[in-house]
């Protein structure tokens, strides 16, 4: 009987050890399964981040190429035209004196010459669409106040003048161009000094296929851009231009 009890205890011990081993094995399998899922998720995340990094690298390269194109264009135009890197992208800036007389939206001969080079650039890059922006300083309009109700009207009229020159004289498709007049609302320098006001009387052109260029009162936009007038004085300014013609 004593021997029998020993056998029973022995078999019970074996059963307990076996059950413990099965539980540990099951736990190990579950742990391995969770780790495999974690590794797979981490691999997917790494692949996603690598894709984003590659995309950012491509965009940076494209932006640098556009900056180089704009520097070359600015150099060929001369006349104090510069390239500026902004939060919206690289921008080509035209001083007011290149395009207009004070208080006027009529493009000067020097402005037409500069815009012809701008048009040549657009013809060489047919996938680029643009937005033409008009900007002024804070000084009230005096000499031509009978034409413009405000600086917003003047800035929008100037942008529209560039639009009409590019589309009518240079046959650039209207579907590639937006216009906007911001008046004094987007200064790039202080309006408390004559030199700052001079900088703020400008224009720009933006390429919105990824980055931006700016030229004369304007900015370049993307291929899907539709022609339109943005800013505080768009419609009224359009009527002003049609009513007054050349100043």
User: Above 60 in pLDDT, residue 43?
Assistant: yes
Residue 3 lies in a domain: no
Range of the domain at 81: 63-244
Q: What is the pLDDT of residues 211-232, one digit of tens each?
A: 433 333 333 333 333 333 444 3
Three-class DSSP labels, 55-71 = HHHHHHHHHHHHHHHHH
Residue 24 lies in a domain: no
- Gyration radius of the chain over CA positions: 33
Q: Which of 10-14, 15-19, 120-124 has the highest mean pLDDT?
A: 120-124
Instruction: Please check whether residue 220 lies inside any domain of the structure.
Output: yes
pLDDT at res. 204: 65
Whether 28 is in a domain gets the answer no
Residue 19 maps to a domain: no
Mean pLDDT, rounded, for 119-128:
90
Q: What pTM did the predictor assign?
A: 0.63
Nearest to 130 by CA among 33, 36, 222: 222
Reply yes or no on whether the pLDDT at 240 is more than 90.
no
What sign does the CA torsion over 187, 192, 198, 199 have? negative
Is-contact 236 150, C-beta < 8 A?
no
End-to-end CA distance of the chain: 126
The answer to whether residues 215 and 94 touch, using CB atoms and an 8 Å cutoff, is yes
Contacts of 240 (CB under 8 A, 6+ apart): 147, 148, 153, 157
**Tokens standing for residue 119:** 């048009």
What's the rounded mean pLDDT across residues 14-22?
56
The whole-number average pLDDT for the span 99-112 is 89
Is residue 31 assigned to a domain? no
User: What integer pLDDT is reported at residue 147 of this predicted model?
Assistant: 86
Beta bridge partners of 229: 179
**In-domain check, residue 5:** no
Q: What is the pLDDT of residue 17?
A: 53
- Structure-model confidence comparison of residues 51 and 63, the more confident one: 51
129 or 201: which carries more pLDDT confidence?
A: 129
Higher confidence at residue 235 or residue 92? 92
Q: What is the pLDDT of residues 145-201, one digit of tens each?
A: 888 888 888 888 999 999 999 999 999 999 998 888 888 888 878 877 888 877 777
Q: Based on the structure, what is the number of domains in the chain?
A: 1
CATH of the domain at 73: 3.30.1330.60
Cα–Cα nearest to 241, from 182, 169, 163, 172: 163
Range of lowest pLDDT (24-28, 139-143, 190-194): 24-28
Q: Of 167 and 6, which is predicted with more confidence?
A: 167
């Amino acid at each position: 009987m004593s021997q029998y009890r020993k056998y029973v205890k022995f078999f019970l011990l074996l059963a307990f050890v076996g059950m413990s081993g099965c539980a540990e094995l099951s736990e190990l399998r579950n742990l391995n399964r969770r780790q495999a899922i974690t590794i797979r998720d981490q691999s997917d995340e790494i692949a996603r981040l690598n894709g984003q990094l590659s995309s950012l690298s491509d965009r940076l390269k494209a932006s640098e190429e556009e900056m180089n194109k704009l520097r070359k264009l600015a150099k060929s135009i001369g006349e104090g035209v510069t390239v500026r890197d902004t939060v919206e992208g690289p921008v080509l800036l035209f001083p007011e004196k290149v395009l207009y007389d004070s208080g006027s939206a009529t493009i000067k001969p020097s402005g037409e010459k500069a815009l012809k080079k701008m048009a040549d650039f657009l013809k060489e890059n047919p996938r680029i669409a643009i937005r033409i922006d008009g900007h002024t300083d804070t000084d009230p309009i005096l000499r031509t106040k009978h034409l413009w109700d405000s600086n917003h009207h003047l800035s929008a009229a100037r942008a529209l003048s560039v639009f009409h020159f590019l589309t009518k004289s240079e046959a650039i498709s209207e579907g590639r161009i937006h216009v906007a007049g911001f008046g004094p609302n987007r200064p790039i320098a202080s309006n408390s000094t004559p030199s700052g006001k001079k900088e703020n009387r400008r224009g720009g052109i933006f390429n919105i296929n990824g980055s931006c260029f700016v030229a004369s009162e304007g900015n370049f936009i993307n291929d899907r851009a539709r022609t339109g007038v943005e800013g505080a004085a768009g419609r009224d300014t359009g009527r002003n231009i049609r009513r007054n013609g050349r100043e």
